[in-house]
Structure 1
């Protein structure tokens, strides 16, 4: 049970099916200390998680050759998980799951399968049969990473009338209309060749959207016209320091806007850092301010949890915690870390 001055979060990890895959952890908001409270096995490579708005259901993708998505009921007191069943995604390496604003559908992107899915949700949070699927086609300029489509994330807009799909292989954000669980193409947003669009973050005002590009370690700023379902590019800038000589292991991974809307953070694998950008409140444009080591290797994912930032370092098997300076947005290491095998997704409860 959560105590005062304590937050809870789930961690998804790359793990064999019989080993712990999803951990429920606690975060001490005074010290930044983290502890494992319980764990769940029975799902292989739980690489991305989503918790619904009423916090009674968690969804997790199983990133394997024949992908699946699982639903789990969340115990209201203990936070422990009880499986509600799973569905096949009909594509390999599902790497993202998101939930419609009303909680009536979930959306999945399959990285190696090149397809995206829609699943209706029952009243108890369990999943119905797939209601829609779209397979992308095409190639990008990078033969080593863009030999075909690779949808890496899929997020609904605030009204649930559209979803935005970042396809790393095609250098596109594809926008689909969602109606009665079906998808129709609305618009395609082109990114510079070789960018590798990965994840999106929406500003709290809804005015702007921010994209982390994996392959060239950049962030792209857009104006967000949700009513028209359109994005207009305002800015591209590097997520790495000017003095850093980028190598083949330097790839952008995750992106989040602070709840106050003043700061943007991105994670850099290879450089193993979290980049801090200040957001201009009038224009949404970014100014690079700082880079903080994550205290580990390969920060695939991070999360802002109750005013603190937690970084999941996949290859060093640890999660590190940081306080956030309220004035500057800079990250201050707490000195605490939690050892977990291959942590790759953090979601607050």
Structure 2
């Protein structure tokens, strides 16, 4: 049960089906304290979570072969989850799930399957039959990581007209038009430098810019975005690592922006840090400000809620809270840690 001055959140993990897979945590909004509230078993490797805009359904990507999408009914008072539905994604290792801003469609990408899919969200709260699917083909220059397509995320744009698929294997962001009947129609392709490995993308609150975390070459790329035609225009590329770091094996992971649009963060797995950038609101360009240790190994995912940043350290087996300074976005460790086996996703309860 949520107490006064608490914000509930879900934690996705790499648990087996027999273990607790999704945890419910609570963040104390006065000091950043963390506590465990509950959770559910019966889902294997729920590595990414997305809440419906109405707050009443949670979707979980089961990163298995074959991949699956689970739907849970949310008790908005307690955060308690009840399984409603389960659908196959017709691809291996479902690694990402998102929901259009109008709540009409649920999108998912299959890392090993090389495909992205669309399901309509039903009025009853479950998922209808798959309405759209696209299959990627090709490869990149790195045979160890880019021997095939690897769609690592699918993100609807703010207008709901387009969906952006970051394909780590192809070094491309493929823009699809999302039709009224839930189909994905290829609209345009945006190439990144060979060996970039685009992973996750986030839009600026204004809708004028998009920022991409590139896993393989440890960069963040800034694009101008034209909502009318779905076009991404390259503006800038910066490293996610401090200058001179050469002896650390690192892969960039997650990317988030504050609701005010002034502060952007990216997580580094290996360097085990969060890098803060200031966003120029007039140009969209970034200025690197600082790196903060995550106090746990392999920060695969993190999220921003109630003035705090929560980091899921996959191999550190913990979730760590940081206070976000409102004037400059800098992070201060609160000292509070929640022990969780292999946490890989944080999703706030609305």
* TM-score when normalising by structure 2: 0.98
Q: 1:288-343 CA distances to partner (integer Å, 9 max, x unpaired)?
A: 01000000000000000111000000001001000011112110000110000000
SS of the equivalent of 1:201 reads strand
- The answer on 1:211 being equivalent to 2:212 is yes
- In 2: Cα distance, 1:158 partner to 1:291 partner: 29
Matched ranges for 1:271-310 at <5 A: 271-310=271-310
Moved over 3 A (4+): none
1:223 corresponds in structure 2 to: 224
Cα–Cα, structure 1 residues 246 and 228, in superposed 2: closer, same or farther, change >3 Å? farther
2:203 and 2:210 in contact (8 A); partners too: yes
- In 1: Cα distance, 2:73 partner to 2:124 partner: 8
- In 2: Cα distance, 1:212 partner to 1:246 partner: 21
- In 2: Cα distance, 1:220 partner to 1:129 partner: 35
1:311 corresponds in structure 2 to: 311
- In 2: Cα distance, 1:29 partner to 1:148 partner: 44
- In 1: Cα distance, 2:101 partner to 2:31 partner: 34
Cα–Cα, structure 1 residues 159 and 281, in superposed 2: closer, same or farther, change >3 Å? closer
Distance apart, 1:104 and its partner CA: 1.4
1:90 corresponds in structure 2 to: 90
Structure 1, unaligned runs of 5 or more:
none
Q: 1:101-151 CA distances to partner (integer Å, 9 max, x unpaired)?
A: 221110000000000011111112201111111110000000000000000
Cα–Cα, structure 1 residues 252 and 263, in superposed 2: closer, same or farther, change >3 Å? same
1:333 corresponds in structure 2 to: 333
2:189 corresponds in structure 1 to: 188
1:171 corresponds in structure 2 to: 171
- In 2: Cα distance, 1:66 partner to 1:282 partner: 45
2:45 corresponds in structure 1 to: 45
1:77 corresponds in structure 2 to: 77
- In 2: Cα distance, 1:70 partner to 1:13 partner: 14
Q: 1:7-29 CA distances to partner (integer Å, 9 max, x unpaired)?
A: 11000000000110111110011
Q: 1:165-201 CA distances to partner (integer Å, 9 max, x unpaired)?
A: 0000000000111111111100000000000000011
Q: 1:22-45 CA distances to partner (integer Å, 9 max, x unpaired)?
A: 111100112211111011111000
1:235 corresponds in structure 2 to: 236
2:102 corresponds in structure 1 to: 102
SS of the equivalent of 1:21 reads strand
Distance apart, 1:164 and its partner CA: 0.4
Matched residue count: 348
- In 2: Cα distance, 1:226 partner to 1:159 partner: 7
1:143 corresponds in structure 2 to: 143
Structure 2, unaligned runs of 5 or more:
none
- In 2: Cα distance, 1:156 partner to 1:320 partner: 29
Please identify, of 212-221 and 32-41, the stretch whose mean Cα deviation from structure 2 is larger.
32-41
Distance apart, 1:77 and its partner CA: 2.2
SS of the equivalent of 1:58 reads strand
- In 2: Cα distance, 1:203 partner to 1:311 partner: 21
SS of the equivalent of 2:20 reads coil
Distance apart, 1:4 and its partner CA: 2.5
Distance apart, 1:160 and its partner CA: 1.4
2:323 corresponds in structure 1 to: 323
1:3 corresponds in structure 2 to: 3
- In 2: Cα distance, 1:290 partner to 1:246 partner: 19
- In 1: Cα distance, 2:17 partner to 2:228 partner: 42
- In 2: Cα distance, 1:341 partner to 1:302 partner: 15
Distance apart, 1:246 and its partner CA: 5.2
2:173 and 2:190 in contact (8 A); partners too: yes
2:157 and 2:203 in contact (8 A); partners too: no
1:18 corresponds in structure 2 to: 18
CA RMSD of aligned residues (A): 0.9
* TM-score when normalising by structure 1: 0.98
Distance apart, 1:260 and its partner CA: 1.2
Q: 1:262-307 CA distances to partner (integer Å, 9 max, x unpaired)?
A: 1110000000000000111211100101000000000000000111
